[in-house]
Structure 1
Amino acid sequence: MNSSVFDALRRWPDVEAPELFAVDAADRLLLDEAASALAAPGADVAVIGDDFGALTLGAVVRHDLPRVRVHQDPLCGELALAANAATVGVAPERFASHAAPEAALVAEATVVLVKLPRSLEALDATARLVARYARPDVLVFAGGRVKHMTRAMNDVLGRSFEEVRASLGRQKARVLTASRPRQGVEPAAVREVRQEDVGLRVCAVGGAFAGASTDIGTRVLLDHLDAVLDSIPSPGTVVDLGCGTGLLAAAAARSVPGARVIATDQSADAVASAALTASANGCSDRITVTRDDAGARIPSGSVDLVLLNPPFHVGGAVHTAIASKMFRAASRMLAPGGALVTVWNSHLRYRQELERVVGPTRQIARTPKFTLTVSTRR
């Protein structure tokens, strides 16, 4: 794939900024390391974790593949792939997007390209899936930036494959190649933990943020949730925006029994986890779990309360753009007088932005690391 095509790729609808890129050195190295396997007659190709379409479109264009199967955990990646394919002239029938990491994604695949996730649990789930359902002669090429790679990734791949080798580094990227799937590999297990201090069970699959533990920012919000609810009108509709494993949604369903609760996240692993968390806590009938881009399908002005623990990373980079996007999304979906409850890293100083984007904002609590605020929609 020539550089001019790479240059045409965008991150949209994910956040875009001059310092954020749609293609990185790991994408380029992956396609180069896998070139012979991709060019083999009858190559059956699956792609897992493609950020914005560079791997899928690169494989299709460079090797004239008739069809590639692809799973991208974030919905923004899936939407970016479709938009980028239209930009570079790749017909939609040349790739098939799978919303979930399922057997059909890798069944009978001879080549699997993987963009290495940060989570070892996500990598383990991917390795197990491929080892169980791809062809016995499958080659797995898993690449990432060296600064985000650890020796433990080799070990994780080694649980599902008999041979794992590393490429030479190039432009601070490296590729691990796995082959010879082990026999009898079991699927990745659901992780479930009872959080005794809040009296709720948390379930996690794959690379869901924080796994089956409680993120420390979420814990601050949970510790003050009842006090916050006592200070605002009883909500009819509550949204856990960027829900992760759905712990806040389950807590809201318990604390406000009459409310309709929506747990939404763009991550496929997150929404699968949140649905399991709702079931484990006996509130599936009152929590609707959706995979969406910052709650884009929730009607404007239809929500009374939004709970938000925004991420402060975009991929591997510390960046505030994703939080800003979620503040705007919360403001749009809130009815006038509705409340946005946000927990955020204190050093990021979001209060002025919350005042501007949502409305009057008051501090509820502050710890050495986090600030908890309530913003009232104008």
Structure 2
Amino acid sequence: MPEFDYSRLRRFPDVEAPNLQAWDATDELLVQHALDAGVPGAEIAVIGDEYGAITLALADAGLHGIRVHQDLVTGRRALANNVAEFGLGTSSFAAHELDANLLSGARLVLLQLPKTLAALDEIADAVARWAAPDAVLVAGGRVKHMTLTQNDVLARHFGAVQPQRAARKSRLLVASDPLRDREKPLPAPETTTHVISRDGSGFSPGEFVLCAYGGAFAGSKLDIGTRVLLDAMGSGALRASQGAGVRVIDLGCGTGALAAAFALQHPDAVVIATDRSAAAVRSARATMVANGLADRVEVTLDDAGSELPDAGADLILLNPPFHLGASVHEGAGRRLIQAAARLLRPGGEVWTVFNSHLDHRRALTRDVGPTEQVVRTPKFTVTRSIRRG
């Protein structure tokens, strides 16, 4: 059987660039471990397969019935695109959320290590809780990003954790003997109460609660950029917020801080919070419930608002990421700026906060319209852009 050609994999619709590829050596090590183990495809679950490299390589080797969970919508769409490129069809695997349907009866779980320990703890708990009693979790990552604390997290949920020899700057951790406790409550989201009321700020609902499940960026903390944007919106002339029925989108909402704060301050607004991360969306929905906003704020899983109508928003709140995985890259932010331009009505506003060293103001002026600086701190810049007609 010819070897799987990883070089044909693409990241699309995620950002593509010469220094960004759709697989790494960890994917290949995980695939080889699975093939050597000889476990049937129907007893394999794959978690964190960013663009489908693991799933498709196993399908190409003849395995069927693989279950896969990808957090990002872009990854899910990239997998579908790569399936078409390789002509494999979708019968070899089935997509799931991180739940019992993904893991029930699974004897081998392949995991690309997540960026945070909280996400790893949540995944390890799910595997120990729902997978087969003799399940083995094989977690892999790039050596430069791995820590001994990851071993400790796995040891909370498995009786044995064995690091493997590093190869090609990647390493596998093999966790076996799951410590099953079906009576243990499901992990609840981390919650933190924040006070954003400050002297001189008109954008102050007072206290609100942020909720976060394991994979959500910044956990339940209010990240610095979001706080800067909230303060700026309180002191700035936010014309687009005036009037009943104003349509607002928190684009790339994360745990939903901006959407929740705005909805509390503007009870007549129609607010949508959207993110490409399933963990973020799950967290944002919990945030809305915690703040009594579940019936007022719609939270959607989507890639850059692709399923929302053009020119339908009066106001967009934007705190774009500047990382793609472990790489610092402006591409993710630029995609959201372009999405904001599509989603805003003529004359609508986008309020953006970004690291001051980034050239987002030029991109906002080009793609959205006239852009002014509202606030600049030593680290962050807040701008207001008006959608040109």
Fold similarity call, TM over 0.5: yes
Which structure 1 segments of 5+ residues have no match?
none
The residue correspondences of 1:1-378 to structure 2 (distance < 5 A) are: 5-37=5-37, 39-40=38-39, 44-62=43-61, 64-98=62-96, 100-184=97-181, 186=184, 187-197=186-196, 198-228=206-236, 230-232=238-240, 234=242, 236-378=246-388
Q: In 1, Cα distance between the equivalents of 2:144 and 2:208?
A: 36
Query: TM-score, normalization: structure 1?
Result: 0.96
Q: Is the 1:239–1:264 contact (alpha carbons within 8 Å) kept by the matching residues of 2? A: yes
**Distance in 2 (alpha carbons) for counterparts of 1:285 and 1:333:** 23
Structure 2 length-normalised TM: 0.93
Q: In structure 2, the residue corresponding to 1:348 is in which secondary structure?
A: coil
Post-superposition CA distance 1:2-54 (Å, at most 9, x none): 566211110011110111000111111111233322x2357611101101000
Q: Distance in 2 between matches of 1:326 and 1:232?
A: 19
Q: How big is the shift at 1:140?
A: 0.9
Letter in 1 for 2:290: A
**Quick one: which amino acid aligns to residue 26 of structure 1?**
T
How far does residue 222 in structure 1 lie from its aligned partner after superposition? 1.4
Q: Which amino acid aligns with 1:116?
A: L
What's the CA shift for 1:349? 2.6
**Partner deviation per Cα, 1:218-251 (whole Å, 9 max, x = no partner):** 1101112223354445261000000000010001
SS of the residue corresponding to residue 47 of structure 1 reads: strand
State the Cα distance separating 1:167 from its structure 2 match: 1.1
Q: How far apart are the structure 2 equivalents of 1:42 and 1:306?
A: 44
Number of aligned residues: 375
Q: Which amino acid aligns with 1:351?
A: R
Q: Which amino acid aligns with 2:43?
A: D
Letter aligned with residue 78 of structure 1 = R
Separation in structure 1 between the aligned mates of residue 279 and residue 237 of structure 2, nearest angstrom:
29
Say whether the 8 Å CA contact 2:42–2:65 is kept in structure 1. Answer: no
Contact 2:248 2:313 in 1 (8 A): yes
Output the amino acid matched with 2:167. Answer: R
How far apart, CA to CA, are the structure 2 residues paired with 1:359 and 1:57?
42
**Structure 1 residues 229 and 2: alpha-carbon distance in aligned structure 2, compared to 1, 3 A threshold:** farther
Contact 1:43 1:110 in 2 (8 A): no
Q: Distance in 2 between matches of 1:373 and 1:281?
A: 28
Gaps of 5+ in 2: 197-205
CA shift at 1:283, angstroms?
A: 1.2
| 8 A contact 1:27–1:54 mirrored in 2 | yes
